[in-house]
């Protein structure tokens, strides 16, 4: 008898922690990770190879916390920040508040699409006044940040925007000094404008007579020097009454004793005359023109130009005199000439009436002093007075042939008076009053004394 025994297969058993031993069918397998609570912090995620180490062992100083964006503070005062457009327009139309508080509403409304003309129609504030208020408020903010004294700031509480607007181009320190000076002297808008121009212009006038006696850090001295220069121009024009008036204004505002002494001496006739001014200034006759300096000058000098390579022939043949004729001051010369130059009425040449000439040199290599190579390569204009040919001033400079003896084929050059005397030279082609370098586009501080 055949018997068959069949062994039924046992269900599959996996001894793992995830699949416990149990009969088929298997239940659904679910993985439950160990969820340990962790503190939540915003971190900059490091590269994957360092991620585990960053989360587990990073030191507190290595954690770079994310910095949320913070918008810049609003220029509007707190009481105006939540106003709608109509409310802002109402504040401007009725001048509700202090002027420097509602002034920032103007650019705020401009950003909303309002034009200056539209704002003028709605609020009655002209476009010019809108600009003045906005700029003056910004100037006042710089004074507040500088911790200007309360007495000066209080002066600008209820007005004075037109004064602050005029000093907008000054540095922060100059603004503070100018603000104190204006408040102390009760300046109006025109006086504030003159003060700002004088302070801005003062560093450019180093070659002018008496400049070293005035202090650039003093607003009063800067303004006094402004009037002093104006008086010299009136003197050159033979306007004695205007000259005295300008000198008296200078004495009213001057602050330092050294500057006051110069003004008193000149006003009383004890100052130096035109020739001695020129003699003193030729010791340092080198200046660089500033871009736009001619356009800004109240007085200019027109001179014939000669080429240095033409030697003495052009210098002697150039016109000796030219004058402004008629209501428009049309310049007429005594003879025709091809080349002319217009220079600002700087002090050394402001009183030059006859015999002035400008000689163009291709480089400054023939100038009798040491300077940097880059300056030696620049072209220069040498302004000379042909009416003063005698070599009499040791520290002066004279235009001569390069040989110094007035003969030969040499080109022109500039030489010191003492050197010429040692060579036995008694006459020159003219006394040098000024050496001018061309303006440089990349240099904003262009009118400087570089000798």
Look at residues 144, 127, 129 and name the one whose alpha carbon lies nearest to residue 75.
Answer: 144
| The two structure tokens encoding residue 356 | 């002035």
Average pLDDT estimate for 426-451: 67
Residue 449: pLDDT over 70:
no
Q: Which comes out higher in pLDDT, residue 178 or 43?
A: 178
Q: Residue 373: CB partners within 8 Å, gap ≥ 6?
A: none
Average pLDDT estimate for 326-349: 82
The answer, as to whether pTM is greater than 0.85, is: no
pLDDT averaged over the chain?
A: 77
pLDDT at 338: 86
Q: Which residue has the tokens 């540095």?
A: 171
For the chain, how far is it from start to end, CA to CA, in angstroms?
137
Please state, in angstroms and rounded to a whole number, the distance separating the CA atoms of residues 119 and 128.
Answer: 12
Distances (CA, A) of 230 to 76, 188, 216, 227: 43, 20, 18, 5
Q: Residue 390: CB partners within 8 Å, gap ≥ 6?
A: 426, 427, 428
Distances (CA, A) of 112 to 91, 126, 133, 134: 16, 18, 18, 16
| pLDDT tier, 236 (very low <50, low <70, confident <90, very high otherwise) | low
pLDDT at 72: 55
Average pLDDT estimate for 49-67: 50
| pLDDT tier, 19 (very low <50, low <70, confident <90, very high otherwise) | very low
């Amino acid at each position: 008898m055949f018997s068959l025994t069949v062994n039924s297969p046992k269900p599959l058993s996996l001894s793992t922690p995830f699949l416990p031993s149990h009969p088929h069918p298997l239940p659904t397998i679910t993985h439950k990770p160990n969820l340990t609570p962790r503190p939540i912090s915003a971190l900059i995620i490091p590269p994957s190879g360092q991620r585990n180490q960053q989360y587990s062992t990073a030191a507190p100083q290595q954690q770079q916390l994310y910095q949320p964006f913070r918008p810049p503070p609003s220029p509007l005062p707190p009481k105006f920040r939540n106003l709608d457009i109509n409310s802002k327009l109402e504040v401007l139309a009725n001048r509700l508040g202090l002027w420097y508080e509602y002034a920032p509403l103007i650019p705020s409304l401009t950003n909303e699409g309002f034009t200056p003309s539209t704002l003028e129609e709605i609020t009655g504030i002209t476009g010019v006044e809108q600009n003045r208020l906005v700029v003056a408020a910004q100037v006042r903010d710089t004074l507040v940040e500088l911790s200007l004294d309360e007495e000066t700031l209080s002066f600008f509480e209820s007005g004075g925007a037109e004064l602050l607007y005029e000093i907008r181009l000054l540095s922060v320190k100059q603004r503070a000094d100018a603000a104190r000076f204006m408040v102390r002297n009760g300046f109006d808008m025109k006086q504030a404008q003159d003060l700002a121009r004088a302070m801005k212009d003062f560093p450019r006038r180093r070659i002018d007579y008496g400049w070293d006696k005035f202090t650039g850090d003093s607003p009063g001295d800067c303004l006094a020097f402004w009037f002093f220069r104006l008086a010299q121009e009136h003197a050159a024009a033979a306007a004695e009454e205007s000259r005295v008036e300008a000198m008296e204004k200078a004495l009213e505002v001057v602050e330092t004793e050294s500057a006051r002494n110069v003004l008193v001496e000149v006003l009383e006739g004890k100052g130096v005359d035109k020739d001695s001014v020129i003699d003193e200034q030729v010791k340092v006759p080198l200046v660089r023109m500033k871009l736009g300096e001619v356009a800004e000058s109240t007085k200019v000098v027109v001179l014939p130009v000669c080429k240095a390579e033409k030697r003495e022939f052009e210098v002697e043949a150039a016109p000796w005199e030219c004058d402004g004729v008629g209501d428009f001051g049309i310049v007429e010369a005594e003879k025709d000439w091809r080349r002319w130059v217009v220079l600002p009425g700087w002090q050394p040449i402001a009183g030059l009436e006859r015999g002035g000439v400008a000689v163009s040199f291709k480089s400054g290599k023939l100038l009798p002093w040491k300077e940097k190579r880059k300056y030696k390569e620049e072209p220069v204009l040498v302004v000379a007075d042909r009416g003063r040919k005698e070599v009499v001033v040791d520290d002066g400079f004279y235009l001569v042939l390069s040989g110094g003896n007035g003969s030969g084929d040499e080109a022109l050059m500039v030489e010191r008076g003492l050197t010429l005397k040692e060579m036995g030279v008694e006459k020159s082609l003219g006394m040098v009053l000024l050496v001018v370098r061309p303006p440089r586009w990349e240099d904003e501080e262009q009118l400087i004394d570089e000798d």
